[in-house]
Amino acid sequence: MSRIAYVNGRYMPHREAAVHVEDRGYQFSDGVYEVVLIRHGKMVDEAPHLVRLERSLGELQIKTPMSNAALRQVMAEVVRRNRITGNGLIYMQVTRGVAKRDHAFPANPQTSVVMTAKRLPEPSRTGVEDGVKAITIPDIRWERCDIKTVGLLASVLGKQQAREAGAYEALQVDSEGFVTEGTSSNAWIVTADGDLVTRRANNAILNGITRLTVLKLAERAGIRFVERPFTVEEAKGAREAFVTSATSLVKPVTQIDDTVIANGKAGGLSLQLFDAYLDYMTTDEARA
């Protein structure tokens, strides 16, 4: 069965989906996006994703394309038309629209909306215990990383560095030596004292929806956590490390650069949070 995409009010075969050459998302990265995980055919944390989308649009002064109720209907229809009854994701991109090329905002822009969906393998513990490798790179991004903009070139370059180094992710490091986040994930460590640590959400990182859910699950489980910066050296000496995102879920990191973390296997807290998140995805709370 061919995939179906949504483009500005029309559902069409994925291979035929296109936007205008002067769409400002294409020419200026003048747009934002969201990636929503699908579990058992239902979207996970749809509501907070739409809240973040609205915030990102507001920060860029892009008019919301439609009501949240209408947007939810379109998302559900994209999932239905692509027959995703198991695990998958939906990608949504919203730009300022099509206009004559000029850096300043056009006078009366028509917001553009594109959505696609695809199936993903079922999440499981297979391979999770072994963890993944990460490398460290300088964070060269702009100072509004809290906006989920389509301007991802720095992340693309960092992810490519990771792939060429045989790593899963690249952890970005600011000018003071502190880890900000991965190229497509939030970064976490577990200290020798058992404290869960992740950077506080501000303009230096994207406040991941999975990040917020993991913090909520940690609090419910009575896990001590603190939101603060941590250095590369602290991460390399940590008891555990992991990254989170809609597609990574909770992904243990067992090597950073040439340093093996602890015993080189996923730690107990990482696995506990992975299991808790897997259970959470099928709850009514996640599908509200």
Residue positions annotated with a catalytic role:
148
Phi, psi (deg, nearest 5) at residue 262: 55, -120
Q: Beta-strand (E) ranges in 50-111?
A: 88-95
Report how far residue 161's alpha carbon sits from residue 74's, in angstroms, rounded to the nearest whole number. Answer: 36
Which two three-digit tokens encode residue 176? 């003071």
- For residue 178, the SS3 value is strand
| Number of C-beta neighbours around residue 174 at 10 A | 14
Phi, psi of 6 (to 5 degrees): -110, 130
* Token couple for 240: 């555990």
Query: CA–CA separation, 288 vs 272, rounded Å?
Result: 24
Taken as a whole, the chain contains a residue count of 288
200's tokens: 């506080």
In one-letter notation, the amino acid at residue 137 is I
Distance between CA atoms of residues 1 and 3, nearest Å: 7
**DSSP strand pairing (112-119 vs 88-95):** antiparallel
Give counts: helices (H), strands (E), the chain: 7, 15
Determine if residue 97 is left, alpha or beta; phi over 0 gives left, psi from -120 to 50 gives alpha, anything else beta.
left
Q: What is the DSSP letter of 117?
A: E
